[in-house]
């Protein structure tokens, strides 16, 4: 009984290439307030979106090994590029439940589209993998998925230019072709993009449904924990016990950014050497 209780109170391991996955962590905090989180942001090696499949998989394996040292009960890959490249390898190698951000977002888009034209905006690695397209077309054969890599969005978000004429200008150029082909649903297929949701929404117009996989991922995590009887039923005290943050570099900068999007004061982020794992 004690063992089961300890397992249920174990943290969820959440990882991303850097700060983007905080949009997913924030949703988990909101929807699953009883859960503890250990977050790892690979700030030394970000961005993943311009790297190769093999490199992203190698990085993701190291992070999962690190998270296992923190006795996590489940892992959330809070990064589209890592979900696109490493999910299969990670699922084959670990016994822990693994929740990625692609499948929940794709499922929602399938339900949302009426005209069968779904757009995906994401990093180069995610678009190159064709993961959203494969998943959606497998489950809804008449649906057409159009991907568009938007590599400049990540640095714009990291520079804090969430509402800025520069972001408007670049978004206008990236999104023009998706407007032309009349998509009715657009997946924000990169963890940074929910932070510029209002810019994207304004440019796409009201008729286009924006899908934020962060929301769906937290919902999926909840379902998985329920099914496996792994939910925590006690709310831990705020502070270092409930949410812990690790990074591979620049811990202070990470903490500052995290505090700008997470409404619980993040006291510290600890830098570790991820190459040791």
Residues that bind ligand DGL (CB under 6 A): 16-17, 20, 46-49, 79-81, 123, 126, 154, 190-192
Nearest Cα to Cα of residue 71 among 32, 13, 15: 13
State which residue has the least CB distance to ligand DGL.
Answer: 49
C-alpha 44 chain-centroid distance: 18
Residue (61 or 242) nearer to ligand DGL, CB: 61
Q: Which listed residue (8, 85, 150, 190) is catalytic?
A: 190
Distance of closest approach, residue 208 Cβ to ligand DGL, in angstroms = 20
Query: How far is residue 78's CA from residue 39's CA, in Å, rounded to a whole number?
Result: 10
Q: Catalytic residue at 190?
A: yes
Residue (192 or 244) nearer to ligand DGL, CB: 192
Query: How far is residue 26's CA from residue 172's CA, in Å, rounded to a whole number?
Result: 28
Cis before 47? omega within 30: yes
Distance of closest approach, residue 106 Cβ to ligand DGL, in angstroms = 14
Query: How far is residue 89's CA from residue 59's CA, in Å, rounded to a whole number?
Result: 12
Residue (46 or 76) nearer to ligand DGL, CB: 46
Query: How far is residue 234's CA from residue 89's CA, in Å, rounded to a whole number?
Result: 33
Residue (73 or 192) nearer to ligand DGL, CB: 192
Residue (80 or 232) nearer to ligand DGL, CB: 80
Q: DSSP characters for 237-277? A: PTTTTTEEEEESS-HHHHHHHHHHH-SS----EEE--GGG-
Distance of closest approach, residue 86 Cβ to ligand DGL, in angstroms = 12
Burial state string for 75-99 with b = 16 or more CB within 10 A and e = fewer than 16: bbbbbbbbbbbbbebbeeeeeebbb
Q: Which listed residue (8, 79, 85, 150) is catalytic?
A: 79
Q: Is 99 left (phi over 0), alpha (psi -120 to 50) or beta?
A: beta
Q: Tell whether the torsion through CA atoms of 19, 10, 269 and 51 is positive or negative.
A: negative
Distance of closest approach, residue 126 Cβ to ligand DGL, in angstroms = 5
Distance of closest approach, residue 158 Cβ to ligand DGL, in angstroms = 9
Spatial neighbors of 5 by CB under 8 A, at least 6 apart, are: none
Residue (82 or 225) nearer to ligand DGL, CB: 82
Distance of closest approach, residue 123 Cβ to ligand DGL, in angstroms = 4
Q: Annotated catalytic sites, by residue? A: 79, 190
């Amino acid at each position: 009984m004690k063992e089961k209780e300890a397992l249920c109170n174990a943290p969820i391991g959440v990882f991303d290439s850097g700060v983007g996955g905080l949009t997913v962590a924030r949703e988990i905090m909101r929807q699953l307030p009883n859960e503890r989180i250990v977050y790892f942001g690979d700030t030394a090696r970000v961005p993943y979106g311009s790297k190769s499949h093999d490199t992203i998989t190698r990085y993701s394996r190291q992070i999962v090994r690190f998270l296992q040292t923190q006795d996590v009960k489940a892992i959330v890959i809070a990064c589209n590029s890592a979900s696109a490249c490493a999910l299969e390898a990670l699922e084959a190698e670990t016994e822990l439940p693994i929740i990625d951000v692609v499948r929940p977002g794709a499922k929602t888009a399938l339900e949302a589209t009426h005209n069968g034209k779904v757009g995906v905006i994401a990093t180069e690695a995610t678009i190159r993998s064709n993961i959203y397209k494969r998943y959606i077309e497998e489950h809804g054969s008449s649906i057409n998925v159009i991907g568009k890599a938007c590599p400049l969005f990540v640095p714009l978000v990291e520079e804090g230019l969430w509402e800025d004429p520069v972001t408007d200008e670049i978004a206008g150029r990236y999104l023009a072709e998706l407007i032309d082909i009349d998509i009715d649903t657009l997946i924000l297929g990169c963890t940074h993009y929910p932070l510029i949701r209002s810019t994207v929404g304004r440019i796409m117009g009201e008729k286009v449904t924006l899908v934020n996989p962060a929301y769906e991922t937290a919902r999926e995590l909840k379902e998985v924990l329920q099914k496996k009887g792994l939910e925590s039923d006690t709310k831990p005290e705020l502070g270092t016990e409930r949410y812990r943050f690790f990074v591979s570099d620049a811990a202070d900068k990470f903490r500052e950014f995290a505090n700008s999007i997470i409404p619980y004061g993040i006291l510290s982020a600890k830098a570790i050497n991820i190459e040791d794992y």
